[in-house]
Amino acid sequence: MTDSHSAILLISCPDQKGLVAAVTRFIFEQGGNILHLDQHVDAEASAFFMRVEWDLHGFGLERDAIATAFDLTIARRFNMTWSIAFSDSVPRMALFVSKQSHCLYDILGRVQSGEWKVHIPLIIGNHDTLRPVAESFGIPFHTFKITADNKAEQEAAQIALLRQHNVDLVVLARYMQIVTGQLIGQFHNRIINIHHSFLPAFAGAKPYHAASARGVKLIGATSHYVTEELDAGPIIAQDVLAVNHRDSVADLVRKGQDVEKLVLAQAIWAHLNQRVLVYNNKTVVF
Amino acid sequence: MTDSHSAILLISCPDQKGLVAAVTRFIFEQGGNILHLDQHVDAEASAFFMRVEWDLHGFGLERDAIATAFDLTIARRFNMTWSIAFSDSVPRMALFVSKQSHCLYDILGRVQSGEWKVHIPLIIGNHDTLRPVAESFGIPFHTFKITADNKAEQEAAQIALLRQHNVDLVVLARYMQIVTGQLIGQFHNRIINIHHSFLPAFAGAKPYHAASARGVKLIGATSHYVTEELDAGPIIAQDVLAVNHRDSVADLVRKGQDVEKLVLAQAIWAHLNQRVLVYNNKTVVF
Amino acid sequence: MTDSHSAILLISCPDQKGLVAAVTRFIFEQGGNILHLDQHVDAEASAFFMRVEWDLHGFGLERDAIATAFDLTIARRFNMTWSIAFSDSVPRMALFVSKQSHCLYDILGRVQSGEWKVHIPLIIGNHDTLRPVAESFGIPFHTFKITADNKAEQEAAQIALLRQHNVDLVVLARYMQIVTGQLIGQFHNRIINIHHSFLPAFAGAKPYHAASARGVKLIGATSHYVTEELDAGPIIAQDVLAVNHRDSVADLVRKGQDVEKLVLAQAIWAHLNQRVLVYNNKTVVF
Amino acid sequence: MTDSHSAILLISCPDQKGLVAAVTRFIFEQGGNILHLDQHVDAEASAFFMRVEWDLHGFGLERDAIATAFDLTIARRFNMTWSIAFSDSVPRMALFVSKQSHCLYDILGRVQSGEWKVHIPLIIGNHDTLRPVAESFGIPFHTFKITADNKAEQEAAQIALLRQHNVDLVVLARYMQIVTGQLIGQFHNRIINIHHSFLPAFAGAKPYHAASARGVKLIGATSHYVTEELDAGPIIAQDVLAVNHRDSVADLVRKGQDVEKLVLAQAIWAHLNQRVLVYNNKTVVF
């Protein structure tokens, strides 16, 4: 999908004529060959979104110079919000877990096998339960027991640890604690959660019990960026699977875990590959 | 699926030992060969459900005598709620519509082509819009304009018409009116509605607008029996399809129509084939 | 999705630097605002594909002049294969049918309800069976009985009729005859067929019987452009649904019809909306 | 799903009247309460299939005596092929792997987390590549390098090892070697393979390359029992996912791995829970 030496621009700005022409001309004039270009206009919001990836082989600007040049010649002119990334960079991702291991195993298996280019410098748990899993993969595990009394303090310590490890992305891999604005503010649109229902149905605790009580014929999972309003952040990925009257709550839990781990993996993959733009509490996933 | 000369028993009762043995022995002793048997126990509710279909060829009892015999020898002993139907009977189904035709065309096409064994004696609309569709299929169309003032009166007239036509099942095929307890009471668990969202998400009006505003990545449809609480009746069938940021509300409406008509068709088919049992505001769909 | 007054360019050419920049600059310089742009590079084939749609409001060129200007200034320079269409044009589509009506009803319902902007000037059948359906929708129906002896002659007559009605697109809506190179040559990449299996599995006749014999757990349908090699043309859309051991061949036929009509509708919609490019016997569906 | 102290009978036999009545009466007379009963008749093959699970609490026969009693009083009379299992038994499963780890990680994560009740006494590889994965989970790993010359000999050694560990089930978790009749004969309907295509499409080597060349819009995976004819054994589970023109062969491989591991897990779970019956090279999966 992504070549190892390419640059990726993610852009959003007010819609206007000439945006695509200006960006693609910038790349062309420096000798770049466009590998992928996705563009979207939200007509109602009059908002423009673009992801463009080009081969850096023979490109006229050094990596460090691209951002400056783009900012001066294009971005300011069109009032763009933008970011640049390089396909060969390796982001640093922290995992938060509780007692359930299915998402953790799935993520670690993907990283270990080389499916994803990402480094996991640490795993944080609010219980010790999954320490052996972390250790079997050679990843440091830090336990932060959380009580009503120590929550703010523990979260501050978690933030310090994340900063110390230069973490780019935080993944709540079935972390059964609500994170607060303190942490969210430090990692704006960089904390991904997996909720075990098809949001907005069954937000909050015990969604499989609620799904069983309502007698739904599908259960789902939703991966979203964490915002201060619980289970209401921008949705990155969702999926469902069919269930029926034979499925007890325990069956929903067991079957749901497969959807949870797949949907979370899709969201992480999209984020790591610079495919997600957020606006109006929604996402554009290129 | 269903042989043309078979009997189908639908049973629910408190769970206890010997239920399957008693029912299957009843059938066996009269020389019936079981074609399909589905059984379910809801352990939590301690409730037993069963659907059994057997070949009537060479069966020892006349059709009229089966119900009496089953009631006396089996049903009373186990305190069963039950019904019997015959695969060669042709139920009578009324359709309620408003202005949108996709579900109507889908249903009429299935009936006309012989996919379903059902008779449609009449179609009721709260607008005249779809009269030509009904007429092109040769089905009488009755318009009942509904206002806040005449609603009870019009519904009473609709009920009279349904009774006059010996209607067994009412299908709200995107009928944009809320039906009241007056009608629901007459057709308990025999009014099927299609709601254009994955319930319980986006109950109420304009679900596609709500789905777009929330930025969901799947949209769905839900078919359910109508109860007095709006959009909260027992769910019979649900399905979803993937959408993305490129889909405007108009796209959600267009794409959603395909799910709506399929999900409604699944629910109707299950009902017509005696596959649905209702308990605790949920369904067992065998 | 598609605004009513927009132009759509579909382009394919050898990949090279500056393609997107050149096309978007052409549009920008005439004052066009890009509504949708999709671009794809097949790196292995070194081939470039693009679909761009822009608002014609205030555009500097008349419709008739766009093609000439684009050809002279852009297309020739880059050796492009291209076509232009306008969102408010109404293509003319002919349907070929045999005895099964599910795809026919589905298509006619979509057209009649206004879901698709297309005109159906005629329906051709190799049997009379579906004449009443065509007539109930007010569409002329022509029967061409086909035998081994008269096939070439009848197909020539069909072609004459299609030409007389200025048909742009031919849809084989479960037409149970193999069309020959005579017809295919006249409508290159403009004949869409629906095959009732997940191709390349179960090509040829009686795919549901073959699927049942093999014991597959999914059945599918495939919509493709017709080429001279049977069931081997470029695939436009495919989908599947789950089946199980309880499903007889008759059940597979019944359930499969829902997939068939949906997949065929997806392919037709993509074609009508200028979303399909063909290369190397494959499709790019934007 | 499965209670911890229940018995499960899997039965197949020629269809005849009274089968369900006889089996359920046998259970009832010993005081057993039926938890789940699934029954299927293949009318064409005139074959009967049944899975029945009942609570052993208060059952009148000791575990050892059930088989004898059932055989004498029921099975012989109806010429049944049957097996009995107990929900609290822990089967022994061996894994065969090559170099790809996604299925291996998925299976080991499910076992380690307690999702499945199964013991894995050993993992066999034809390469050393995945030895560290096995060891990080504390499972003995045995390497059997295979050449054309030593294949029969190595397979004989594998069989000896499997017997020594009392292995009940062999799972080929992306094992890139064809196993021969020597091994298959020892584990009839007890070797599960995962093939990375929607069989029968793309049987044989390099299915993702073939799928890309054909331009399919879905890719799939198939889990089946291994028989001597390559990729032609009874299918247990299949699934697909949507792909498009943007997906290179490398993308198909990456995306396909998610389907492979899910489909293989479904098949293993069904087998471990005594849900699969094989006949006519097909499966009944209750």
**DSSP letter string over C173-214?**
SS--S---HHHHHHTTT-EEEEESS-TTTT-SS-HHHHHHHH
Length of chain C (residues): 286
Whether B1 maps to a domain, the answer reads no
Q: How many CB atoms lie within 10 A of CB A7?
A: 23
Residues C111 and C173 occupy one common structural domain: yes
d(CA C20, CA A33): 10
Residue B198's pLDDT is 95
Q: Which two tokens stand for residue B285?
A: 């769909």
d(CA A97, CA A145): 12
Minimum distance, in Å, between the CA of residue A107 and any CA atom of chain D: 10
Q: Which residue of B has its CA nearest to D15?
A: B33
Q: How many helices (H) and strands (E) does chain B have?
A: 8, 13
Closest CA to D37 of B24, C96, B194: B24
Q: A21 at the C interface (CB within 8 A)?
A: yes
Residue B43's pLDDT is 87
Which residues from chain B sit within 8 angstroms of residue C258, using beta carbons? 262, 265
Indicate whether B158 pLDDT > 70. Answer: yes
Residues D120 and D239 occupy one common structural domain: yes
Q: Are A224 and A195 in contact (CB under 8 A)?
A: yes
Residue A168 CB partners (closer than 8 Å, separation 6+): A91, A92, A93, A190
DSSP for chain A?
---TTEEEEEEEEE--TTHHHHHHHHHHHTTPEEEEEEEEEETTTTEEEEEEEEE-TT-SS-HHHHHHHHIIIIITTTT-EEEEEETT---BEEEEE-S--HHHHHHHHHHHTTSS--B---EEESSSTTHHHHHHTT--EEE----TTTHHHHHHHHHHHHHHTT--EEEESS--S---HHHHHHTTT-EEEEESSSTTTT-SS-HHHHHHHHT-SEEEEEEEE--SSTT-SPEEEEEEEE--TT--HHHHHHHHHHHHHHHHHHHHHHHHTT-EEEETTEEEE-
Q: B77 at the D interface (CB within 8 A)?
A: no
Name the band, by pLDDT with cuts 50, 70 and 90, for residue C1: very low
Residues A27 and A70 occupy one common structural domain: yes
Could you read off the pLDDT of C128-160 as tens digits, one per residue?
A: 999 999 999 999 999 999 999 999 999 999 999
Indicate whether D27 pLDDT > 70. Answer: yes
Whether A1 maps to a domain, the answer reads no
Minimum distance, in Å, between the CA of residue D69 and any CA atom of chain C: 30
Where a domain ends, among D30, D51, D86? D86
Could you read off the pLDDT of A92-110 as tens digits, one per residue?
A: 999 999 999 999 999 999 9
Indicate whether D7 pLDDT > 60. Answer: yes
Three-state DSSP at D21 gives helix
| Average pLDDT estimate for B45-72 | 95
CATH number at residue D61: 3.30.70.260
Whether B221 maps to a domain, the answer reads yes
| Average pLDDT estimate for C227-256 | 96
Minimum distance, in Å, between the CA of residue B157 and any CA atom of chain D: 46
Could you read off the pLDDT of B164-214 as tens digits, one per residue?
A: 999 999 999 999 999 999 999 999 999 999 999 999 999 999 999 999 999
Residue B243 CB partners (closer than 8 Å, separation 6+): B211, B216, B217, B218, B219, B251, B252, B255
Residues A139 and A276 occupy one common structural domain: yes
Name the band, by pLDDT with cuts 50, 70 and 90, for residue C43: confident
From the list D21, D35, D41, which residue is nearest B21 (CB)? D21
Q: Are C226 and C133 in contact (CB under 8 A)?
A: no
Q: Are C101 and C130 in contact (CB under 8 A)?
A: yes
Name the band, by pLDDT with cuts 50, 70 and 90, for residue D43: confident
Could you read off the pLDDT of B207-262 as tens digits, one per residue?
A: 999 999 999 999 999 999 999 999 999 999 999 999 999 999 999 999 999 999 99
Closest CA to D255 of D265, D263, D243, D264: D243
- As a whole number, the mean pLDDT across chain C is 96
Whether D136 maps to a domain, the answer reads yes
Q: How many CB atoms lie within 10 A of CB D90?
A: 11
Question: To probe the interface with D, which of A4, A36, A53, A105 has the most D CB atoms within 10 Å?
Answer: A105
Whether B121 maps to a domain, the answer reads yes
* Integer angstrom CA distances of residue C85 from A6, A148, C5, C11, D242: 34, 63, 11, 12, 28
Could you read off the pLDDT of A200-225 as tens digits, one per residue?
A: 999 999 999 999 999 999 999 999 99
Question: To probe the interface with C, which of D245, D248, D264 has the most C CB atoms within 10 Å?
Answer: D245
Which residues from chain D sit within 8 angstroms of residue B27, using beta carbons? 21
Minimum distance, in Å, between the CA of residue A189 and any CA atom of chain B: 15
Closest CA to D141 of D115, D185, D108: D108
| Average pLDDT estimate for D18-47 | 93
Residues D23 and D56 occupy one common structural domain: yes
| Average pLDDT estimate for D248-259 | 96
DSSP 8-state code for residue B74? I
Backbone phi and psi for residue D79, each to the nearest 5 degrees, phi listed first: 60, 45
CB spacing of D133 vs A112 below 8 angstroms: yes
A220 DSSP β-pair partners: A240
DSSP alpha helix (H) spans, D71-116: 76-78, 102-112
* Integer angstrom CA distances of residue C138 from C131, C144, C174: 10, 19, 20
Residues A47 and A184 occupy one common structural domain: no
Q: Are D279 and D189 in contact (CB under 8 A)?
A: no
- As a whole number, the mean pLDDT across chain A is 96
Q: How many CB atoms lie within 10 A of CB D238?
A: 24
Residue D4's pLDDT is 63
d(CA C263, CA C174): 12
Name the band, by pLDDT with cuts 50, 70 and 90, for residue B275: very high
Where a domain ends, among A46, A67, A86? A86
**E runs forming strands in C87-187:** 93-97, 123-125, 141-143, 169-172
Indicate whether D1 pLDDT > 80. Answer: no
How many Cβ contacts (< 8 angstroms) between chains C and D? 83
- As a whole number, the mean pLDDT across chain B is 96
The A residues from 253 to 282 touching D (CB cutoff 8 Å) are: 254, 257-258, 262, 265
Which residues from chain B sit within 8 angstroms of residue D60, using beta carbons? none
Count of domains observed in chain A: 2
| Average pLDDT estimate for C95-109 | 98
Q: Which two tokens stand for residue C277?
A: 């490019």
Residues C79 and C103 occupy one common structural domain: no
DSSP 8-state code for residue D19? H
Site of tokens 């005439």:
C30
Residues D236 and D152 occupy one common structural domain: yes
Three-state DSSP at B67 gives helix
d(CA B193, CA B182): 16
Q: Which residue of B has its CA nearest to D41?
A: B35
Percent helix / strand / coil, chain C, rounded to 5 = 35, 30, 40
Which residues from chain C sit within 8 angstroms of residue B112, using beta carbons? 101, 105, 133
* Integer angstrom CA distances of residue B179 from A97, B28, B172, B175, B191: 48, 44, 9, 9, 10
Indicate whether B4 pLDDT > 70. Answer: no
B170 DSSP β-pair partners: B94, B191
From the list C1, C105, C251, which residue is nearest B109 (CB)? C105
Name the band, by pLDDT with cuts 50, 70 and 90, for residue C4: low
Catalytic positions of C, written as ranges? 231
d(CA B70, CA B55): 16
Out of D106, D168, D231, D247, pick the active-site residue.
D231
Where a domain ends, among A70, A86, A102? A86
Which range marks the domain in which residue D102 is found? 93-285
Length of chain D (residues): 286
The B residues from 180 to 239 touching C (CB cutoff 8 Å) are: none
Q: C5 at the A interface (CB within 8 A)?
A: no
B9 DSSP β-pair partners: B52, B84
Which residues from chain A sit within 8 angstroms of residue C38, using beta carbons? 38
Whether B78 maps to a domain, the answer reads yes
Whether A75 maps to a domain, the answer reads yes
Which residues from chain D sit within 8 angstroms of residue C278, using beta carbons? none
CB spacing of D250 vs A1 below 8 angstroms: yes
| Average pLDDT estimate for D115-140 | 97
- With 0-12 / 13-18 / 19 or more C-beta atoms within 10 angstroms meaning exposed / middle / buried, residue C158 is buried
CATH number at residue A104: 3.40.50.170
| Average pLDDT estimate for A242-256 | 96
Length of chain A (residues): 286
Name the band, by pLDDT with cuts 50, 70 and 90, for residue B1: very low
Which residues from chain B sit within 8 angstroms of residue A220, using beta carbons? 218
CB spacing of D1 vs A251 below 8 angstroms: yes
| Average pLDDT estimate for A45-64 | 95
Site of tokens 């298996």:
A109
d(CA B137, CA B101): 13
Whether C1 maps to a domain, the answer reads no
| Average pLDDT estimate for A114-119 | 96
Q: D128 at the A interface (CB within 8 A)?
A: no
Residues D52 and D191 occupy one common structural domain: no
Residues B71 and B173 occupy one common structural domain: no
Closest CA to D283 of D207, D192, D218, D176: D192
The identity of residue A142, as a single letter, is H
CB spacing of A108 vs D113 below 8 angstroms: no
Residue A43's pLDDT is 87
Out of B106, B168, B231, B247, pick the active-site residue.
B231
Other chains touching C, judged by 3 or more CB pairs under 8 Å: A, B, D
From the list C24, C28, C41, which residue is nearest A35 (CB)? C41
Which residues from chain B sit within 8 angstroms of residue D34, using beta carbons? 17, 19-20, 39, 41
Distance of CA D163 to the CA centre of its chain: 18
Residues B143 and B17 occupy one common structural domain: no
Residues D82 and D99 occupy one common structural domain: no
Indicate whether D16 pLDDT > 90. Answer: yes
Residue B99 CB partners (closer than 8 Å, separation 6+): B127, B129, B130, B176
Per-position b or e across C251-284, b if 16+ CB within 10 A of its CB: bbbbbbbbbbbbbbbbbbbbbbbbbbbbbebbbb
